[in-house]
Homo-oligomer: A and B are copies of this chain.
Amino acid sequence: MSHPVLAELWRGDIVESFHRGAFAVVDSDGRVLRAGGDIDRPVYARSAVKGLQALPLVASGAAARYGLDDAELALACASHGGQPEHVATAAAMLAKAGLDAQVLECGVHWPSDERAARALAAAGDTPCALHNNCSGKHAGFACLGALMAGDADRARGRLRGYVEPDHPVMREVGEALASATGICLVDAPRATDGCSIPTYGVPLRALALGFARFGTGSGLAPDHARAAARLRRAVAAAPLMVAGSGRLDTRLMDHFGERVFCKVGAEGVYCAALPGRGLGLALKMDDGNTARAAEVALVALIASLLPLDDADRALLDPLADVALHNWNGRRVGRLAAAVDFAAA
């Protein structure tokens, strides 16, 4: 099945490149309001479901027990840029549970935020696990594991291997994903994510349902519904934590607050909840292009679903139709959504 073109890159007067993908808009009863492409094919949700994966951190009482604040809960849902604020916040989460970066099993990479990476290099430093874009999520797993273990000393031992699918921490995390989306973890395709935790193949239809539920609480167990509301409030209050300076998730939630909860995933996946509309949405670009294709498509899809005022349009319009400039600042083309989502 050939998916529809969702985003196009124009250079001069012709389309230079284009991106195909599939998308689904679903309500919390599972009704599909809009869709394009095959929405029943399993798609690895990757980091797009970090919000769902953070539900046990709150629902278990770990977040309250360790006094995690808005910034820390937002970081638990984050793919962050490794900026100094992100690194310090991940370290603070671990410290509150009596732990440190030694327990993290996410691996190490340079900050994706270029300024942060260059500052690190300029200081003669190299990155550690706290700089990994998933360190907040993993710090949240560690806090959950600390609560389950009872105390920090025991936790350090018991946390070992927490990234494995059968570890008690990861079972909790997997169950939260399964119950929100309605998928069966045993039957779903499973692979290893960039940060070593399992990632499951979930149809876009089910991902969108999970986000409709995350945004409304409807269809979730009461403790997960309360946890979802807490996480949505936290990210709206600390949007820098969920991504980083200039990044789309940060910009959208900085502007829309709790009207939008959105989360990017690797390989061109994007999910969002629009709580006021009772809707969840999920999209995946065939080619895995996140930074330009999935972002433009997500913005156009949100713009087609939300009631917008002038300030909203002033933010969204240039994000769904992006002017492209070259190294001399010359305008050379544009990147634009290619589907009229309102008619899809």
Contact = CB atoms under 8 A, between A and B. Distances in A.
Interface in A107-159: 107-110, 114, 117-119, 121-122, 124, 132
B194 A287 contact: no
A329 B192 CA distance: 11
Nearest to A1: B2
A91 to B, nearest CB: 18
Contacts of A66: none
Interface string A86-119: 0000000000000000000111111000100111
Given A107-B326, A107-B328, A132-B327, A13 B333 contact: no
A47 to B, nearest CB: 13
A192 B17 contact: no
Contacts of A110: 114
A19 interface: yes
A17 B333 contact: no
B328 A189 contact: no
Copies in the complex: 2
A132 B260 CA distance: 39
Contacts of A42: 14
A332 B194 contact: yes
The contact size tier of chain A is 35 or more
Contacts of A121: 117-119, 121-122
Contacts of A191: 11-14, 16, 332-333
Given A118-B117, A288-B9, A195 B326 contact: yes
Query: A17, A18, A114, A118 — which one has the most chain B CB atoms within 10 A of its CB?
Result: A17
A118 B124 CA distance: 9
Interface in A12-66: 12-14, 16-20, 42-44
Contacts of A13: 189, 191
Nearest to A3: B2
A303 to B, nearest CB: 23
Given A121-B121, A327-B194, A286 B18 contact: yes
B17 A286 contact: yes
Contacts of A18: 286-287
A192 B330 contact: yes
Contacts of A2: 2
Contact of A196 (B14, B289, B326): B326
A14 B284 CA distance: 15
A175 interface: no
Interface of A: 2, 9, 11-14, 16-20, 42-44, 105-110, 114, 117-119, 121-122, 124, 132, 189-196, 199, 201, 267-268, 285-289, 293, 326-330, 332-333
Given A11-B191, A18-B287, A192-B332, 8 more contacts: A17-B267, A20-B20, A107-B328, A109-B327, A118-B121, A132-B327, A191-B333, A196-B326
